[in-house]
């Protein structure tokens, strides 16, 4: 809803104002609909809290990188 507070608008000026406001609202709605959420950092991912424990053995250092 638009309300003219001061001045006298001609019908053409009012139509131009409505067109600009409608275009901006449509652009904002399209941007919000197409926006993707920010990628989540893998460092804080909850799955990392459920890692398997490191095994003891001669190649434990290798397995620790892949666990």
Confirm whether 3 is domain-assigned. no
- Mean of pLDDT over the chain: 80
Judge whether 1 lies within some domain: no
pLDDT number for residue 57:
77
Which pLDDT score is estimated for 32?
A: 75
Per-residue model confidence (pLDDT) at position 37: 73
Q: What is the pLDDT of residues 34-63, one digit of tens each?
A: 777 778 777 777 777 776 666 777 877 777
How many domains are contained in the chain? 1
Q: Show the domain range for 38.
A: 11-63
The pLDDT score that the predictor gives to residue 66 is 55
Q: Is residue 28 part of a domain?
A: yes
Q: Are 52 and 67 contacting, i.e. CB atoms less than 8 angstroms apart?
A: yes
Structure tokens at 43: 């460092």
What is the mean predicted confidence (pLDDT) over 11-33?
89
Residue 24 lies in a domain: yes
Residue 16 lies in a domain: yes
Domain-embedded: residue 2: no
């Amino acid at each position: 809803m638009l309300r003219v507070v001061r001045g006298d608008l001609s019908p053409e000026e009012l139509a131009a104002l409505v067109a600009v406001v409608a275009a901006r609202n449509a652009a904002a709605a399209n941007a919000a609909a197409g926006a993707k959420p920010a990628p989540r950092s893998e460092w804080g991912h909850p799955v990392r809290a459920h890692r398997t424990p490191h095994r003891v053995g001669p190649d434990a250092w290798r397995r620790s990188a892949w666990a």
